[in-house]
Structure 1
Amino acid sequence: MEEESFQGIMDRSPFIAWIHNISLNQQKYMKSQFSELDLGHDVRYIMYIYDNPSCSQEDLVSMFCQSKGNIAKILKKLEDKGFVKREINPKNRRKYMLTTTEKGNELVPEYRRISKEWEIKVGITQEDIELKRRIREIAINGMKLTEEG
């Protein structure tokens, strides 16, 4: 018997394929809501910096499993667009501390508000809080596993 499929997601699809599909569709929606900014996935870096003021480029490398070069290019783009700024760390002059600008500080709450609206529209409810906690735990375990390897 053939399974019903939508965008390639079937009962027998790996769990991670469902998570990936949710992520891609949420990103498409958010991109349509903020099309004038042309940020795409890069908004996640702004959000991380917003939540972790004075974090470093190395923090972004670890968190997002990106190369130092890739993070440097992304930060340059976000700096040029006026969302983040880099300042030399007075405790270690070879490193930068990252913070969001006023423009970045205005973007993050609005982005989160529209993201929450998306969650409601797709059916994520208060009852899913435990599921969200477990998926976060799985994500952290995956990051730890790659650090060990």
Structure 2
Amino acid sequence: MDDESFQAIKDSSPFIAWIHNISLNQQKYMKSKFNELDLGHDVRYIMFIYDNPGCSQDDLVNMFGQSKGNIAKTLRKLEDQGFIQRQVNPENRRKYMLNTTEKGRNLVPEYRKISKQWEIEVGITEEDIELKKRIKEIAIKGMNLIEDN
């Protein structure tokens, strides 16, 4: 197979297509390692909550640029699956504080370990730190661009 045409990634492809391809293939890899869990991109919410105990649904909306409805639906699913729990915020009873359950706290380190393994297998090294920083900057500018419109 011609490497340049694999999954329709060509030199003329938009940059975002390359990023999307990397993301999809990483998700497929992770799914193969956690095949009993069908989390897909939803694992990012568990990881955010794990890293930010007591965060709110609004924090997720702002971080991931998803609608309140989509976030609420996903949180309900993750709660039903036992990865997170919602507790009424004592300072604002109309809002919930989000935390990972023991199941969620056990998942995140394992998920990160396997994700790091994927990075090694595809050739992402410590030398790519500047590239990672630059892509993060682009991601932040993209989020800000949306917020400004």
Matched position secondary structure for 1:77:
helix
> What's the TM-score once normalised by structure 2's chain length?
0.96
Separation in 1, partners of 2:107, 2:25? 20
TM-fit CA distance, 1:4: 3.2
Unaligned runs of 5+ in 2: none
Percent identical residues: 78
Partner of 2:61: 61
Separation in 2, partners of 1:119, 1:139? 19
Which amino acid is the alignment partner of residue 22 of structure 2? I
Partner of 2:23: 23
Matched position secondary structure for 2:36:
helix
Separation in 1, partners of 2:134, 2:91? 37
Q: How does 1:25-104 map to 2 (within 5 A)?
A: 25-104=25-104
Separation in 2, partners of 1:22, 1:4? 14
Q: How many residues align?
A: 147
Moved over 6 A (4+): none
RMSD between aligned residues: 1.1
Q: How does 1:102-113 map to 2 (within 5 A)?
A: 102-113=102-113
TM-fit CA distance, 1:67: 1.2
